[in-house]
């Protein structure tokens, strides 16, 4: 007849799933057993819960690796890479770049990202950098590499910074870093990746892959937003990043719902209100309104939004192709250029890419039959960037990424 399954069997079933990805909780079976007892005695001693919490904390802390490396690159790795000739040119001691085996500069070498591998011990404290060192490393990467006017081309700068930031993130995950340092690092990472998505737009795929950038951006953003949700405040930059998250993920139901579930105070803050209005205009397919509102964004917000500008402009041409579709209709190119936030010649080029005919008198002839999606590679997003470019003005790359504008 019936077989009973007791709690024990269930517990074993759950145990199978590894907890090693959890950032804060200790990974011992003992902890789980205690938790079990707590559920059984639901509603009893709060005090006991607190006590167990604290001993869990202690137990947990002993199991989590704590780095001791005070330099941006662990000594062992620097030595290894020097010997194997695997230093990046940004890490070489000045003057030794051209010799057969360049020397590494301990003040400029930064720990690489390495794929986790079975049997490899990534928890050796001498190889791990504590949170304060990680933050200093990130600041170095921004100020001395990303923002440097001397290092070219920027695609190479990006590759280096991208990889080393990944290494920083890895150290954070292994040590289960949380709190102010964690958020400061993630905030800079997100700004860097957003800025890069704009600056390197249009570069060839082998130099810059927007999808890889996107993956890491979303991961870092997601982690950062989790921090805001779970760590005690205040979070002075939260408004900025919630807004950036929405602008970057414009039109996403998930991103929108997330914003809707924030506290009323946050939701009514200026940056988020503006981001929500732009999001709404995008969802309602009102590109005129969307582009008008977009003019109010600052530079980094513009960078976050920029990849949606293509869709926005396409939508405008599409609905106008339907709305003005009549043989005798003429729409002035100038007016359209204004609506698209482009100059006249660029507007004309864009129209041609979508099959919208421009006649002799600079009048557009809209026709729903004529509208076509541009062929692959025909449309260069970068050509139409000025709405974002003009926001940059005197801003330095360093200030943009550190967020002091």
Partner 1 sequence: MAHITINQYLQQVYDAIDNHDGSFCAELLSFKHPHVANPRLQLASPEEKCQQLLEPPYDEMVAAHLRCTYAVSNHDFVEAYKFQTALPVMFSVTLDLRIFANSAEQQLQKKGKGQPGEMLEKAAEQLMSCFRVCASDNRAGIEDSKKWGMMFLSNQLFKIYFKINKLHLCKPLIRAIDSSNLKNDYSPAQKVTYKYYVGRKAMFDSDFKPAEEFLSYAFHHCHGSSQKNKRMILIYLLPVKMLLGHMPTHQLLRKYDLMQFADVTKSVSEGNLLLLNEALSKHETFFIRCGIFLILEKLKIITYRNLFKKVYLLLRTHQLPLDAFLVSLKMMQLDDVDIDEVQCILANLIYMGHIKGYISHQHQKLVVSKQNPFPPLSSVS
- What is the C-alpha to C-alpha distance for residues 283 and 297, in angstroms, rounded to an integer? 18
Q: Which of residues 162-221 bind partner 1 (CB under 8 A)?
A: none
Strands 357-358 and 363-365: antiparallel
- When the beta carbons of 139 and 310 are compared against partner 1, the nearer one is 310
Instruction: Check residue 285 for interaction with partner 1 (CB under 8 A).
Output: yes
The residue within the footprint of partner 1, chosen from 205, 253, 369, 404 (CB under 8 A), is 253
Q: Are 187 and 295 in contact (CB under 8 A)?
A: no
- When the beta carbons of 42 and 84 are compared against partner 1, the nearer one is 42
14: its two tokens: 């759950």
Instruction: Check residue 3 for interaction with partner 1 (CB under 8 A).
Output: yes
Instruction: Check residue 286 for interaction with partner 1 (CB under 8 A).
Output: yes
Give how far Cα 160 sits from Cα of 166, 167, 208, Å: 10, 11, 12
User: DSSP letters of 289-342?
Assistant: HHHHHHTT--HHHHHHHGGGHHHHHHHHHHHHHHHT-STT--EEHHHHHHHHTS
CB of 24 to partner 1, least distance (A): 5
Nearest partner of 240 among 278, 199, 269, judged by Cα = 269
Using the contact rule CB under 8 A, the part of the chain among 77-85, 104-112, 313-321, 388-396 near partner 1 is: 313-321
Give the number of residues in contact with partner 1, rule: CB under 8 A.
56
Strands 331-332 and 363-365: antiparallel
CB of 282 to partner 1, least distance (A): 12
The residue within the footprint of partner 1, chosen from 37, 51, 231, 357 (CB under 8 A), is 231
CB atoms within 10 A of CB 399: 14
- When the beta carbons of 32 and 136 are compared against partner 1, the nearer one is 32
Q: Are 293 and 274 in contact (CB under 8 A)?
A: yes
- What is the C-alpha to C-alpha distance for residues 43 and 378, in angstroms, rounded to an integer? 66
- When the beta carbons of 16 and 376 are compared against partner 1, the nearer one is 16
Helix-helix angle 131-140:180-199, to 10 degrees: 20
**Cross-strand bridge partners of residue 332:** 363
Q: What is the CA radius of gyration of the chain?
A: 26
The residue within the footprint of partner 1, chosen from 64, 163, 324, 344 (CB under 8 A), is 324
Q: Which of residues 47-66 bind partner 1 (CB under 8 A)?
A: 53
Q: Are 34 and 52 in contact (CB under 8 A)?
A: yes
- Here's the x/- map for partner 1, 339-358, by CB under 8 A: it reads as x-------------------
The residue within the footprint of partner 1, chosen from 27, 64, 329, 395 (CB under 8 A), is 329
Q: Are 298 and 392 in contact (CB under 8 A)?
A: no
- When the beta carbons of 5 and 118 are compared against partner 1, the nearer one is 5
303: its two tokens: 């960078």
- When the beta carbons of 288 and 346 are compared against partner 1, the nearer one is 288
What are the backbone dihedrals phi and psi of residue 92, each rounded to the nearest 5 degrees, phi first? -85, 150
Task: Provide the terminal-to-terminal Cα distance of the chain, rounded to the nearest Å.
Answer: 72
- When the beta carbons of 3 and 84 are compared against partner 1, the nearer one is 3
Using the contact rule CB under 8 A, the part of the chain among 90-98, 117-125, 212-220, 255-263 near partner 1 is: 255-263
Using the contact rule CB under 8 A, the part of the chain among 11-19, 148-156, 157-165, 233-241 near partner 1 is: 11-19
CB of 392 to partner 1, least distance (A): 27
Instruction: Check residue 260 for interaction with partner 1 (CB under 8 A).
Output: yes
The residue within the footprint of partner 1, chosen from 257, 361, 369, 393 (CB under 8 A), is 257
Contacts with partner 1 by CB under 8 A lie at: 1-7, 10, 13-14, 17, 22-25, 35, 38-39, 42, 53, 226, 229-232, 253-254, 256-257, 260-261, 280, 283-289, 292, 316, 318-320, 322-326, 328-332, 335, 339
């Amino acid at each position: 007849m019936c077989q009973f399954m007791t709690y024990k069997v269930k517990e074993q079933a759950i145990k199978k799933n590894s907890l090693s990805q959890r950032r804060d909780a200790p990974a011992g079976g003992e902890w789980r057993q205690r938790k079990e007892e707590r559920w059984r005695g639901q509603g009893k001693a709060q005090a006991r819960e607190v006590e167990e919490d604290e001993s869990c904390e202690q137990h947990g802390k002993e199991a989590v690796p704590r780095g001791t490396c005070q330099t941006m690159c662990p000594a062992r790795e620097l030595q290894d890479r020097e010997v194997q000739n695997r230093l990046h040119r940004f890490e070489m001691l000045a003057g030794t770049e051209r010799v057969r085996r360049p020397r590494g500069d301990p003040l400029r070498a930064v720990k690489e990202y390495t794929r986790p591998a079975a049997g490899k011990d990534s928890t050796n404290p001498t190889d791990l950098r504590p949170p304060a060192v990680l933050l200093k490393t990130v600041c170095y990467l921004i100020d001395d590499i990303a923002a440097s006017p001397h290092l070219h081309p920027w695609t190479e700068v990006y590759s280096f910074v991208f990889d080393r930031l990944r290494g920083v993130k890895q150290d954070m995950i292994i040590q289960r870093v949380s709190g102010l340092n964690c958020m400061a690092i993630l905030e800079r990472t997100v700004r860097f990746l957003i800025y890069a998505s704009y600056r390197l737009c249009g570069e060839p795929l082998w130099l810059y892959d927007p999808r890889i950038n996107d993956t890491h951006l979303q991961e870092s953003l997601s982690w950062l937003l989790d921090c805001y949700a779970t760590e005690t405040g205040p979070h002075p930059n939260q408004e900025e990043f919630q807004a950036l998250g929405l602008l970057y993920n414009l039109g996403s139901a998930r991103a929108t719902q997330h914003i809707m579930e924030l506290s009323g105070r946050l939701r009514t803050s200026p940056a988020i209100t503006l981001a929500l209005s732009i999001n709404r205009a995008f969802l309602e397919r009102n590109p005129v309104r969307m582009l008008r509102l977009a003019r109010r964004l600052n530079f980094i917000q513009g960078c976050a939004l920029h990849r949606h500008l293509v869709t926005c402009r396409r939508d405008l041409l599409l609905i106008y192709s339907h709305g003005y579709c009549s043989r005798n209709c003429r729409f002035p190119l100038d007016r359209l250029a204004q609506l698209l936030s482009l100059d006249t010649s660029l507007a004309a080029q864009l129209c041609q890419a979508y099959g919208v005919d421009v006649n002799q008198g600079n009048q557009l002839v809209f026709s729903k039959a004529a509208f076509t999606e541009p062929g692959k590679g025909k449309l260069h997003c970068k050509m139409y960037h000025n709405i974002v470019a003009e926001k940059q003005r005197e801003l330095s790359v360093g200030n943009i990424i550190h967020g002091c504008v």
